[in-house]
C-alpha cells in the first residue's frame, strides 16, 4: 500500500501531479453538470474542486502549478481569439456598433460599481483589498480570462506577495451566474415587455436578409435587357446575383458574364433575400420551369457542394477566382459554420467553406481539384499555426511599454498578447499564408483543456486560505458586493437598450450574455426564443467584450494596484 499512499502524498512525483490534476478536473466537470433551478456552473466548478483539494493539502510544487496555470491560460485565450477573429471587425457594422457600445458601457459600469463598493465597504488603506475586489469583479461577471489577466498583472507587480484573488472570484461566481439571468428577466418587467410580441416582431423583421440566399426562376420581360450581357445587367442594377442557367427556346444554356439576354429567356437566379424583389422587378416575373430538370439531365449539368481545403484559396473572392470565365461554372451559395450565405463576388472564401458549384460534370470536377475537396484534411488541426501564434503572442505580451504616468512598464502579458495575435491571425492570417481553420470540436477541445488546467491551478493555489477568507475574512462581503456588480449595470444598460434604442428584447438578452461572456445566460436566452436573435446579439458583442474584459483587468491592476 505504500505505493498508493506515495501516489497521493509525494508532491514531487510527476505521477502525483498528474493524478492531482486528473482528480480535480474530473470531479469538477462532473459536479459542474448538476443543475439547481435549471442552472449549472459548468466547467467552472473545476475551480471549486481545486479549492477543496488545496484546502485538504492535496497539492503540488508552486512552480509546477504556476507553469500549468499560465500555459492553460495562454491556450484558452488563444483559441478564443482564433474563434472570434474572423468576425471581430465586422461586428461593428450597422446595428452591431450600437450593441457593442452598449456592451462597452456595461463593462465600464461593472468597473465603476466595483470601485464604488470598494470605497464604500472596505478599508482602502489595506493593499490587499483592491486586488481582492478585482477578483470579485471577474467572478461577478463570470469572466475567467479576466481573472487570469489580473493575476498575471499582479504577479508582475507584487511577485510572491500576490493576494489570492481567486478567493474573491470564487465567492462572487455562483451568484454571478444567477444574477445575470435574474437581472435580464427583471429588465423585461421594468420595460413591460411581452414575449409573444417580441417573437412576432422577429418574424416580421427576420434577421439579416443580406446574407440569406434566395433561389428563383425568372422570365425576362424587360425589353431594355434584350441584347445586353449579364455583366451589363449587373452594372445596371448594382445588385449582386448569380445567373447559373438560362432556358432559351427549349435549349439549356450555361451562361457566362458575356452571355447576352433575350426576351422570353427563363433564368435560374440566386441572389440575397434582401435583393430578391429588386432583381425580380428589373428582370421579370417569377415563373415555374419544370423543363430545367430534364434539360439539365440531357446537358449533364450537376450541382455539387465542394469543400475548400487548399490553403492557397483562403481569403480569395469568387471574383478573383473567375469561376465562370475560366472554369465554366457558377458559384451560387456558401455554407460556413452551419449557416448558408449568398456567394457575393467580394466574399472572402475560407478553408472549411462548402460552396455550391453548378456546371457540367467535367468543369465541376476541375473546380473541385482547384478548391481541394479533401475532407480528411479538415480533420487535422493546423497545429503549426496555433504555436506560431502563441510564440508571437508571448513576444507581444512581453514587450514593455513605458509611460511617465504609470509606475511600472505596461505589458499585455500572457493573456492580452496571445489574444490580440489570435484575433489578428484569425482575421488576416490568410494574407501571410497561415491557415487558421480548425473544426469547431477541435477548437472547443483545446480551449476547454486550457480552461480546466487554468481553473484547477488557480483553485489548488487558493485552497489553503479559502475557508479562512470566507469564514473569518470578508467572504460574505465579497458575495454581496459581487451581486451588486452583477445586477446594477445589467439593469441600467438593458433598460437603456430597450427604452432609448428599442432593441428587440431577445437581442438584448443575447447582448447582455455576450457582454458578460456568460454561456448559461445565452442558453437561457435561446431557450426563451424560437429565433436566433439571442445568438446573433451574443456573437455581435462577444469578441469586443472578451477583449475588453481581459484588457481592463490588466489596466485596473497596473493603474490602481501598483
State the pairing for strand pair 330-336/339-342. Answer: antiparallel
Express each pLDDT in 409-464 by its tens digit.
666 677 678 878 887 887 777 777 777 777 767 777 888 898 889 878 878 877 76
Please state the length of the chain. 562
Is pLDDT above 70 for 519?
Answer: no
How would you write 173-190 as a 3-class SS string? HHHHHHHHHHHHHHHHHH
Q: What is the DSSP letter of 273?
A: G
* pLDDT level of residue 209 (50, 70, 90 thresholds): very low
As a whole number, mean pLDDT of residues 346-359 equals 79
What is the model's pLDDT at position 207? 44
Cell numbers linked to 441? 470540436
Express each pLDDT in 299-336 by its tens digit.
556 778 888 877 777 778 887 887 766 666 778 788 76
Express each pLDDT in 7-18 by its tens digit.
776 777 788 888
Angular region, 502: left φ>0, alpha ψ -120 to 50, beta rest: left
Is pLDDT above 80 for 540?
Answer: no
Going through 158-260 in order, the beta strands assigned E by DSSP cover 213-219, 241-248, 251-253
Q: What is the DSSP letter of 432?
A: G
Cell match 452591431: residue?
96
Global pTM reads 0.63
Q: What angle do CA 487, 186, 105 make, to 5 degrees?
A: 45
Is pLDDT above 90 for 498?
Answer: yes
| More confident call, 183 vs 291 | 183
What is the model's pLDDT at position 520? 64
| More confident call, 113 vs 383 | 113
* pLDDT level of residue 210 (50, 70, 90 thresholds): very low
* pLDDT level of residue 289 (50, 70, 90 thresholds): low
Cell numbers linked to 397? 505580451
Is pLDDT above 50 for 223?
Answer: yes
State the pairing for strand pair 251-253/241-248. Answer: antiparallel
- Distance (Å, whole) CA 523 – CA 334: 27
What is the model's pLDDT at position 235? 76
Cell numbers linked to 87? 468576425
Cell numbers linked to 59? 497539492
Q: How far apart are the first and last CA of the chain?
A: 50
Amino acid at each position: 500500500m505504500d505505493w498508493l499512499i506515495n501516489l497521493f502524498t509525494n508532491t514531487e512525483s510527476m505521477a502525483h501531479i498528474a493524478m492531482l490534476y486528473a482528480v480535480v478536473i474530473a470531479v469538477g466537470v462532473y459536479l459542474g453538470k448538476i443543475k439547481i433551478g435549471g442552472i449549472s456552473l459548468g466547467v467552472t466548478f473545476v475551480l471549486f474542486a481545486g479549492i477543496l483539494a488545496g484546502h485538504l493539502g492535496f497539492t503540488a510544487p508552486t512552480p509546477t502549478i504556476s507553469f500549468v496555470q499560465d500555459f492553460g491560460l495562454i491556450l484558452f485565450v488563444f483559441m478564443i481569439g482564433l474563434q472570434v477573429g474572423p468576425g471581430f471587425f465586422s461586428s461593428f457594422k450597422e446595428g452591431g456598433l450600437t450593441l457593442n457600445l452598449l456592451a462597452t458601457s456595461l463593462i465600464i459600469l461593472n468597473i465603476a460599481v466595483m470601485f464604488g463598493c470598494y470605497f464604500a465597504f472596505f478599508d482602502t488603506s489595506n493593499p490587499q483589498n483592491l486586488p481582492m475586489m478585482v477578483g470579485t469583479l471577474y467572478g461577478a461577471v463570470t469572466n475567467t480570462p479576466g481573472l487570469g489577466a489580473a493575476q498575471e498583472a499582479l504577479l508582475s507587480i507584487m511577485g510572491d506577495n500576490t493576494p489570492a484573488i481567486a478567493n474573491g472570484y470564487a465567492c462572487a461566481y455562483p451568484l454571478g451566474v444567477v444574477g445575470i439571468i435574474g437581472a435580464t428577466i427583471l429588465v423585461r418587467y421594468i420595460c413591460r415587455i411581452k414575449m409573444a410580441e417580441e417573437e412576432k416582431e422577429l418574424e416580421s423583421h427576420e434577421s439579416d436578409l443580406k446574407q440569406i440566399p434566395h433561389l428563383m426562376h425568372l422570365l425576362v420581360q424587360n425589353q431594355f435587357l434584350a441584347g445586353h450581357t449579364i455583366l451589363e445587367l449587373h452594372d445596371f442594377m448594382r445588385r449582386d446575383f448569380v445567373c447559373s442557367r438560362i432556358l432559351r427556346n427549349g435549349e439549356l444554356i450555361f451562361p457566362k458574364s458575356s452571355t447576352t439576354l433575350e426576351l422570353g429567356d427563363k433564368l435560374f437566379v440566386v441572389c440575397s433575400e434582401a435583393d430578391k424583389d429588386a432583381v425580380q422587378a428589373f428582370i421579370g416575373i417569377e415563373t415555374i420551369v419544370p423543363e430545367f430538370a430534364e434539360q439539365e439531365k440531357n446537358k449533364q449539368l450537376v450541382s455539387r457542394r465542394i469543400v475548400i481545403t487548399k490553403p492557397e484559396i483562403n481569403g480569395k473572392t469568387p471574383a478573383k477566382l473567375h469561376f465562370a470565365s475560366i472554369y465554366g461554372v457558377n458559384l451560387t451559395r456558401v455554407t460556413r459554420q452551419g449557416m448558408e450565405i449568398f456567394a457575393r463576388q467580394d466574399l472572402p472564401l475560407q478553408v472549411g467553406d462548402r460552396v455550391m458549384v453548378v456546371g457540367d460534370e467535367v468543369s465541376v470536377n476541375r473546380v473541385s481539384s482547384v478548391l481541394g475537396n479533401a475532407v480528411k484534411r479538415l480533420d487535422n488541426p493546423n497545429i503549426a499555426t496555433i504555436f506560431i501564434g502563441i510564440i508571437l503572442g508571448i513576444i507581444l505580451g512581453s514587450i514593455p511599454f513605458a509611460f511617465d504616468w504609470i509606475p511600472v512598464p505596461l505589458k499585455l502579458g500572457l493573456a492580452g498578447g496571445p489574444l490580440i495575435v489570435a484575433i489578428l491571425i484569425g482575421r488576416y492570417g490568410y494574407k501571410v499564408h497561415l491557415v487558421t481553420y480548425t473544426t469547431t470540436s477541435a477548437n472547443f477541445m483545446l480551449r476547454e483543456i486550457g480552461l480546466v488546467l487554468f481553473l484547477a491551478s488557480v483553485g489548488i493555489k487558493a485552497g489553503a486560505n479559502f475557508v479562512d477568507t470566507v469564514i473569518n475574512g470578508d467572504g460574505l462581503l465579497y458575495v454581496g458586493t459581487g451581486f451588486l456588480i452583477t445586477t446594477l449595470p445589467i439593469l441600467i444598460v438593458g433598460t437603456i437598450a430597450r427604452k432609448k434604442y428599442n432593441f428587440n428584447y431577445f437581442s438584448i438578452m443575447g447582448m447582455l450574455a455576450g457582454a458578460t461572456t456568460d454561456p448559461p445566460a445565452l442558453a437561457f436566452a435561446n431557450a426563451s426564443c424560437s429565433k436566433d436573435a439571442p445568438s446573433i446579439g451574443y456573437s455581435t458583442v462577444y469578441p469586443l467584450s472578451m477583449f475588453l474584459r481581459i484588457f481592463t483587468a490588466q489596466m485596473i491592476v497596473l493603474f490602481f494596484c501598483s
